Structure 1
């Protein structure tokens, strides 16, 4: 029973990245005056756990690309994530999920989409012309990296096997390009697909099943 209350290394990585999501979007809320009564407090809290949210999630997307190229699992990256997440207690995951539900109930991302669009300017970015503002382009890249991370795990655990490989390759390839307005549409569709297929719940269930199998295969006290 105790083992079930402890997160696996992969689950701790998920906690780290979801804390990054919360820190990023509450930070944008604070910056743009959205939910001003709570945004600063929320941003400061989640930033304690995720001081560099964009960099961490982009790195996770890059790791997904590297693993796909080499067809190997990056255990060193998982160790780094484990150190960032702190204690691997299941309450950490539950608290993060509660935070994400609050973001959804307050329609934070919808409000931010409007705010970012209002600041839109045509930008000449490093690799060419973009019809998104710099903030919008960064947001698209952030979400592309997140989707690459999710589909990397789905492919690894053979979840939605008929589409997982194609989705992973799609998001990996798009995450290396200058984002456009079409990419912005694509990432929102990608996030909707993740929710529709309930990928994150499937990943959690599979992770718990694997943990139980490992525990059942471990020698108990009666074996000695």
Structure 2
């Protein structure tokens, strides 16, 4: 079977989500002087596709929280607004985004942003950037402290990200033994005033999502599902001719 080159609406929404991630963290890199020789050009490139990353991801998270009510209509509008550039919607679009995310991870931009956010608000304090922190119940974190506005935004952004991907995981029976529990956990946490505990927990959540390969599993499932549907449609059309 020839590989499908055009992305489905769900796949295109995922592309937009990941462009938002890239635009947000390269934008914060610019703000905090991280990789100053390349961060501005990277930010300008990705933000040209995703000019409002926080708003878009937050909206996607709220739809996931509400169970996807009016999902099709809202998805169509949101994706269309950010995919009007010629040449959008093909497999090369996703490959470019994946390459961008790998570069972001290789350069450890997200880690550097976390350190910058913590140190900007609390000089000499960067514990929240430590990926080895295993629990918000750790002794040195028994007393939660307030976050800066920028840190709160980062927590809310990542909570929305987690709700979005765990909702899709639940719908498509990916990691079905834990998907519903994880989704409910992040839904319950969303809307509360974020504290340092939430900042630690959301980093753990992102780490778990990546360790389990949820995004890749959803991508593979979507490619397979749509390919099968298109194959069945093609067979039906052949039967009619």
1:156 pairs with 168, 171, 196, which one?
171
1:85 pairs with 64, 80, 83, which one?
83
| Distance change (3 Å), C-alpha of 1:209 and 1:73 | farther
- CA shift, 1:166, in A, is 1.0
User: 2:42 and 2:181 mapped to 1: Cα distance?
Assistant: 36
CA deviation string 1:73-95 (max 9, x = no partner): 61112212331234211111110
8 Å Cα contact 1:26/1:43 also seen in 2? yes
SS in 2 for 1:4: coil
Corresponding residue for 2:114? 113
User: 2:145 and 2:233 mapped to 1: Cα distance?
Assistant: 54
User: 1:95 and 1:207 mapped to 2: Cα distance?
Assistant: 18
| Distance change (3 Å), C-alpha of 1:95 and 1:199 | same
User: 1:161 and 1:184 mapped to 2: Cα distance?
Assistant: 26
Corresponding residue for 2:26? 26
TM-score, structure 2 as length reference: 0.84
SS in 2 for 1:117: helix
Corresponding residue for 2:35? 35
- CA shift, 1:5, in A, is 0.9
CA deviation string 1:156-175 (max 9, x = no partner): 10111111111111111212
Corresponding residue for 1:182? 197
SS in 1 for 2:21: helix
Corresponding residue for 2:137? none
Show structure 1 runs of 4+ deviating over 4 A: none
User: 1:104 and 1:95 mapped to 2: Cα distance?
Assistant: 14
* Matches for 1:104-143 after TM superposition, within 5 Å: 104-120=105-121, 131-143=146-158
User: 2:181 and 2:165 mapped to 1: Cα distance?
Assistant: 13
User: 2:26 and 2:78 mapped to 1: Cα distance?
Assistant: 21
TM-score, structure 1 as length reference: 0.90
Corresponding residue for 1:170? 185
1:75 pairs with 72, 76, 79, which one?
72
What is the RMSD of the two structures over their aligned residues, measured on CA atoms? 1.7
Name stretches of at least 5 consecutive residues in structure 2 with no aligned partner.
Answer: 123-143
SS in 2 for 1:33: coil
User: 1:206 and 1:186 mapped to 2: Cα distance?
Assistant: 28
Count how many residue pairs are aligned between Structure 1 and Structure 2. 214
Name stretches of at least 5 consecutive residues in structure 1 with no aligned partner.
Answer: 122-128
- CA shift, 1:186, in A, is 0.6
